[in-house]
């Protein structure tokens, strides 16, 4: 068994495939939740006792749930192969550890998803949701962590990272790194709020946008748990918009930042604008399932892009070497 830290094209492309496939999984999971199809099948891991249940290709609820399960199984196989491949061929210990962490999370995600189905009827005293329904929230949160792990692995295996190509060898300034940290932290916080909001059926708790009432008030007329979640999601969107724009500005003002990362910063601003537009359309449409799914995908893509930029600007400390400023 020969381990190396040189660029391995097959392994790098396989990791990129895994990073792309996770968005198939996220899309199908978001659509399943958006149409309320999470209990289309009452059993697990099979669907109505079969890997090819009758009617799943013609019934939209059955298709959403079963295709989500099939894509999850494929994601599991990809992650197993990636973790083993990294362990056998990659010399960098941090990359091998990320592979095992990704495998642990995908296994845990499968178990949580299964228990969400099997424990759907288990009532929780004092709560509106059953225990199975509550499991949807950690399932959604872990999905975001998993996306970041896959992108970290793919970035670390890329030719750009290994060979320090494309000018991505300069160290970002402390100011740029600080903007990046807060952008990523607030984005994760926003996505966790969104996960809790979606699974508590709070997506239309405030049915107006951009105001909170039909009369144009900023604050809602009444408050409950769902309204708090929806309002917090909106406030965080404003804060996050300011911070992300500040981060992109810092990227463009930092002479050590490569042109590729600056362009990713502009792409991040475009994603931010698209997210705000989709969020507004979700409210105006009364929570259309396709628009809601698009909003979830946009959130995952915004997270992945932000993480990728932050990860590359921290390259020196991740590889354990001091990278001087240009």
**pLDDT tens-digit map of 242-273:** 999 999 999 999 998 989 899 999 999 999 99
User: Structure tokens of 156?
Assistant: 């670390």
pLDDT in tens, 7-54: 899 999 999 999 999 999 999 999 999 999 999 999 999 999 999 999
Q: For residues 147 and 213, what is the distance between their CA atoms, to the nearest angstrom?
A: 36
Domains of the chain, by residue range, sit at: 1-163, 165-326
Q: How far apart are the first and last CA of the chain?
A: 38
| Residue 3 DSSP class | -
Please tell me the pTM assigned to this model.
Answer: 0.91
The structure tokens 């990227």 sit at 251
Q: For residues 61 and 63, what is the distance between their CA atoms, to the nearest angstrom?
A: 5
Q: For residues 86 and 94, what is the distance between their CA atoms, to the nearest angstrom?
A: 10
Lowest mean pLDDT among 102-116, 191-205, 305-319: 305-319
* Nearest Cα residue to 306 out of 155, 164, 133: 155
Once rounded to an integer, what is the mean pLDDT over residues 112-124?
A: 93
pLDDT in tens, 87-97: 999 999 999 99
| Alpha helices (runs of H) in 90-207, residue ranges in sequence order | 93-118, 131-134, 136-157, 159-162, 174-199
* Nearest Cα residue to 240 out of 296, 177, 303, 286: 303
Once rounded to an integer, what is the mean pLDDT over residues 117-144?
A: 92
């Amino acid at each position: 068994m020969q381990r190396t830290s040189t660029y391995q094209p097959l392994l790098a492309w396989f990791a990129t495939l895994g990073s792309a496939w996770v968005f198939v999984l996220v899309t199908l999971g978001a659509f399943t939740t958006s149409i309320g199809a999470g209990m289309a099948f009452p059993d697990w891991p099979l669907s109505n006792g079969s890997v090819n249940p009758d009617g799943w290709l013609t019934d939209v609820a059955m298709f959403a749930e079963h295709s989500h399960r099939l894509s999850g199984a494929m994601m599991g196989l990809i992650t197993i192969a990636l973790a083993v491949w990294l362990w056998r061929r990659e010399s960098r210990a941090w990359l091998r550890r990320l592979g095992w962490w990704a495998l642990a999370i995908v296994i845990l995600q499968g178990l949580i998803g299964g228990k969400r189905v099997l424990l759907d009827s288990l009532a929780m005293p004092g709560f509106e949701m059953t225990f199975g329904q509550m499991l949807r929230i950690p399932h959604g949160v872990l999905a975001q962590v998993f996306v970041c792990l896959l992108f970290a692995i793919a970035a670390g295996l890329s030719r750009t990272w290994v060979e320090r190509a494309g000018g991505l060898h300069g160290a970002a300034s402390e100011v740029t790194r600080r903007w990046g940290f807060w952008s990523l932290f607030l984005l994760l916080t926003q996505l966790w709020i969104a996960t809790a909001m979606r699974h508590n059926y709070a997506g239309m708790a405030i049915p107006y946008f951009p105001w909170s009432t039909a009369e144009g008030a900023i604050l809602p007329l009444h408050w409950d748990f769902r309204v708090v979640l929806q309002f917090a999601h909106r406030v965080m969107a404003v804060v996050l918009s300011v911070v992300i724009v500040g981060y992109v500005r810092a990227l463009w003002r930092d002479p050590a930042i490569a042109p590729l990362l600056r362009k990713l910063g502009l792409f991040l601003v475009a994603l931010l604008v698209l997210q705000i537009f989709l969020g507004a359309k979700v409210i105006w449409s009364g929570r259309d399932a396709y628009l809601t799914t698009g909003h979830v995908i946009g959130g995952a893509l915004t997270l992945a892009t932000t993480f990728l930029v932050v990860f590359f600007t921290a390259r020196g400390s991740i590889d354990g070497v001091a990278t001087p400023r240009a």
